[in-house]
């Protein structure tokens, strides 16, 4: 079905050679402009955000392991989602903390991110080491969720957090993950 839609769009975009030529010059890729514009239009404008607070690192004790296909060939890091960091404000952005723990090291990196289901984008707000406080990021821009590359967890978290273009309720999201880590197993897993 998708191939048929793409073919229809390709044919529709080539209504006249001159019009297609102008579009090809504009996008510089040698493809009809409407098709390229359609593929590139995945990234929507940055969502409007409501006020929110960063979670207190010391209060994060409910950690669930994250599993996604890239981990099968990567034994260097383990990933965890802080279930007690999950928040959903009236802007419908799901905010959360992920811990990246090297299998052979002591320092765990924490990242505080927001995921917008409507625009299929995520934003990293801050990071911290297992022994420090949050550091705000200078270039905290919204980026498209992806299931490829170094930070593939955003794409897989979007599958669990979102139902089409809206987030699931927090209780529904939390049911998808099992918190089974002890306080000594990950950064921030400290007893209260």
The residue behind tokens 């009809």 is 32
pTM over 0.85: no
Q: Are 54 and 126 in contact (CB under 8 A)?
A: yes
Range with lowest mean pLDDT among 34-43, 81-90, 148-157: 34-43
Q: Where are the alpha helices (DSSP H) in 43-169?
A: 153-161
Average pLDDT over residues 148-154: 79
pLDDT at 9: 53
Q: Could you tell me the maximum CA-CA distance found in the chain, to the nearest angstrom?
A: 68
Q: Are 118 and 166 in contact (CB under 8 A)?
A: yes
At 99, the pLDDT band (50, 70, 90 cuts) reads very high
Tens-digit pLDDT profile for residues 32-48 = 433 433 444 555 788 88
Distance CA 54, CA 85 (A): 9
């Amino acid at each position: 079905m998708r191939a048929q839609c793409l073919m229809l769009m390709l044919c529709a975009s080539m209504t006249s050679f001159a019009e297609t030529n102008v579009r090809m010059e504009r996008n510089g890729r040698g493809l009809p402009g409407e098709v390229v514009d359609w593929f590139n239009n995945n990234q929507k404008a940055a969502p409007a955000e409501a006020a929110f607070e960063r979670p207190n690192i010391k209060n994060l004790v409910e950690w669930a392991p994250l599993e996604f296909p890239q981990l099968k060939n990567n034994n260097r890091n383990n990933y965890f989602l802080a279930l007690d960091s999950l928040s959903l404000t009236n802007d419908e952005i799901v905010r959360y903390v992920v811990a990246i723990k090297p299998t052979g090291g002591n320092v765990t990196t924490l990242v505080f991110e927001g995921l917008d289901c409507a625009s299929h984008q995520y934003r990293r707000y801050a990071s911290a080491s297992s022994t420090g406080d949050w550091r705000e990021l200078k270039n905290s821009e919204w980026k498209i969720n992806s299931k490829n590359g170094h930070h593939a967890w955003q794409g897989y978290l979007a599958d669990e957090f979102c139902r089409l273009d809206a987030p699931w309720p927090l209780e529904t999201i939390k049911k998808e993950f099992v918190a089974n880590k002890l306080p000594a197993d990950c950064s921030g897993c400290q007893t209260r």
